[in-house]
Structure 1
């Protein structure tokens, strides 16, 4: 049976944003906000572009809706990412060590704060804190594997 192989390497583009806020905590928080916010806004733009092509028309109203959606999604996901990165960095500084526990605690605090700001149910806040901690911990473990 014939077979073939692919040899080579793939590298991802690296975006370096250098904004010095004068404080390392603020630097990582703003960096997380900008990077993830830009990704969320781009995702929203791509999604709306797909629907415009599918409809076969573009209008000023649709473009205004897309712009508003891009800003809203970028601000929301950028805020969540900025909070998480800041919380994880804060945990690292408080605990004096860099390990998966910082991700877990940062994710749990971020999940709880985002949930508390948008929900009034205590059970939902606790569940979102657990989910945030679990997702952040899993992402850290997956990152260790690669």
Structure 2
């Protein structure tokens, strides 16, 4: 048994995610939420690190990224603590941004996955209605994680989440 563990490659480990349950928390709903959270949080972390690295590189090279200009023409710094240099404050800001981003991605995936599973079990059907409700609640949850969430932003995120989720559900059988 130990020789099998020693010879397994990273690719074998990644393939095993699709075959079985990564977590066994005693209930399929909890397993699904935990797996979705961990997988999406990893994707969110990769996305945040690559975005922050891009902005650090652009700023360090003295180039304009184009996205940091306000309507007044004044350059607005996207991450005020990231300076394009190797220092402790920049690293701490990057870790903070990465943690927040991965938490948001994991939260969205866990909430959506848990809701679709719970609604499927409660209603006995998996259809666009489950996707719409789960997408709306997930959108509201994400809006509430932003720093300045307004009533309008929460409603817009709920509508957007419901629309994207419903469209994805309806298009699943086509492609």
TM-score normalised by structure 1 residue count: 0.77
Change (3 A) 1:44 1:20: same
Number of residue pairs matched by the alignment: 133
The answer on whether the counterparts of 2:112 and 2:135 sit within 8 Å (CA) in structure 1 is yes
Q: Is the 8 A contact 1:88 1:102 kept in 2?
A: yes
Find the residue that maps to 2:172 and give its secondary structure: helix
**What does 1:1-146 correspond to in 2, within 5 Å?**
14=15, 16=17, 18-54=22-58, 55-56=60-61, 57-115=85-143, 119=149, 121=151, 124-146=153-175
CA RMSD of superposed structures (Å) = 2.4
How far does the alpha carbon of each residue in 1:67-126 deviate from its partner, in whole angstroms, 9 at most, with x for none?
Answer: 1111111011211111011011111001112223221121122223444676462x5544
Structure 2 Cα separation of the partners of residues 15 and 58 of structure 1: 37
Q: Structure 2: where are the runs of 5+ without partners?
A: 1-13, 62-84
- Structure 2 distance, partners of 1:45, 1:116, is 23
Larger Rg: 2
**Contact 1:103/1:140, CA 8 A, preserved across alignment:** yes
Whether the 8 Å contact between 2:104 and 2:142 is mirrored in structure 1 is no
Name the structure with the higher helix share. 1
SS in 2 for 1:144: coil
TM-score by length of 2: 0.65
